[in-house]
Amino acid sequence: MAEETAIPIWLNDLQHGRRKEKERAFRSFLDTWHQRLYHFVRRLMGNHDDAADVTQETLIAVFRSAAQFEGRSAFSTWVYTIASRKALDALEKRSRQQTIGFEEAFHAAEVALMADAHFSGDEVERQLHAAVAALPPRQRQVFVLRYFENLPFAEIAAATGVSEGSLKASYHHAALKIKQHVTAP
Amino acid sequence: MSPFSPPDGFFDQQRADVLRAVQAPRRFVFAAVAGLAATLVIAVLWPRQQPCASYTCLLEATPVEELPVEWALEGHGEMDAWEVWPNPETLESNR
């Protein structure tokens, strides 16, 4: 995890550089983070179109608010904070439009993944991602940050503003639901 | 390894869109300033048309179809046919 805690060499230019330096630093940021962010957001959002929108908003927000990063957490945590807040906003807006139970959401997500030309996972992965997509937004956020992005609970707490205790409880509930829906090969 | 893959060319396209979005304000301001400067330069340098002070000048400045018909019929015509007559003093000095 050395990469997570190390300060990127371009960070100072991204925060305080003149226009050209800042743009050059931002290109370096994109080299490192663009694909990684997309895949993180894609797991949260469940479909490509929403993931593309949230990824784009996040990248632009990082460029515009880089000077506000104070270094109290790892830079990666700060980026995940922006991305997960934007994703959560989009998910909550979407879940206000349609409220369905976990089982119904799980089956709908499985069907959608089977028809998704950009999903190449096997059956177990399909069940796993369908179950993740069926979780309530906040549980999904915690599960993805912990399970897929491997962030420590302390960093997730910093990113979400939720206590470590609550996060662990959310993660436990999420993992339990997922285990019930993933059939071991 | 993520089982999700975006459509071909997605990352390149989004990277270009994002870079354009973060550069847009500067380009917009530059374009606005350049447009304003160009307008000012044109306004200052644009040759202003001086009013004619001689008969020859009036003759040259008036399109043929706008010349008085009688004048056209009689060759060099009657000078009275002009609705707006130039200053006689200037006219004399130009003859």
Q: What is the pLDDT of residues A1-49, one digit of tens each?
A: 444 556 788 888 888 888 888 999 999 999 999 999 999 999 999 889 9
Distant-in-sequence, close-in-space partners of A161: CB < 8 Å, separation ≥ 6: none
Give dist(CA A177, CA A180) in Å, integer. 5
Structure confidence at residue A143 (pLDDT): 95
Q: Which tens digit of pLDDT belongs to each residue from A69-98?
A: 888 888 899 999 999 999 999 988 877 666
Question: For residue A119, which phi and psi values (nearest 5 degrees)?
Answer: -115, 125
**Closest by Cα among A125, A127, A126, A174 to A146:** A174
Is residue B4 classed as helix, strand or coil in its secondary structure? strand
When mean pLDDT is compared across A33-37, A70-74, A175-179, B12-16, the lowest value belongs to A70-74
- Mean pLDDT (whole number) for A169-177: 94
- The single-letter DSSP state of residue A148 is I
Q: What local confidence, expressed as pLDDT, does residue A5 receive?
A: 56
Cα radius of gyration (chain B): 32
Q: What value does the mean pLDDT take over residues A133-140?
A: 90
Return the exposure string of A105-142: e unless at least 16 CB atoms fall within 10 Å of the residue's CB, then b: bbebbbebbeebeebebeeebbbbbbbbbbbbbbbbbb
Two structure tokens written together for A170: 């959310």
CB contact under 8 Å between A48 and B23, yes or no, is: no
Q: Which has more pLDDT, A91 or B81?
A: A91
Residue B42 has pLDDT above 50, yes or no: yes
**Higher per-residue pLDDT: B62 or A120:** A120
Residues of A in Cβ contact (< 8 Å) with B4 = 39, 42-43, 48, 118-121
What pLDDT does residue B82 have? 55
A142 beta partners: none
CA dihedral angle for residue A39, residue A42, residue A44, residue A50, rounded to 10 degrees: 150
Give me the residues of A, 22-41, that contact B with CB < 8 A: 23, 26-27, 30, 34-35, 38-39
Rounded to the nearest integer, the mean pLDDT of chain A is: 89
Q: Give yes or no for A15 touching B (CB within 8 A).
A: no
Residue partners of A159: CB distance under 8 A and separation at least 6 = A73, A77, A78, A80, A81, A84, A145, A151
A120 contacts B3? CB cut-off 8 A: yes
CA distance B11 to A35: 7
What is chain A's alpha carbon radius of gyration, rounded to the nearest angstrom? Answer: 17
pLDDT at A183: 78
Interface membership of B39 toward A (CB under 8 Å): no
pLDDT at B79 over 60: no
What ipTM was predicted for this assembly?
Answer: 0.83
Mapped onto helix, strand or coil, the DSSP state of residue A89 is helix
Nearest to A56 among B5, B14, B26 (CB): B14
Among A120-124, A171-175, B30-34, B71-75, the minimum mean pLDDT is found in B71-75
Separation between Cα atoms, residue B94 and residue A75, nearest integer Å: 84
Q: Which of B3, B6, B18 sits opposite A48 (nearest CB)?
A: B6
Distance (Å) from the alpha carbon of A65 to chain B's nearest alpha carbon: 12
Q: What CA–CA distance (Å, rounded) separates A51 from A103?
A: 23
Q: Which amino acid is at B27?
A: R
Full-prediction pTM beyond 0.80?
no
pLDDT at B31 (0 to 100):
80
Question: What are the helix and strand counts (H, E) for chain B?
Answer: 4, 0
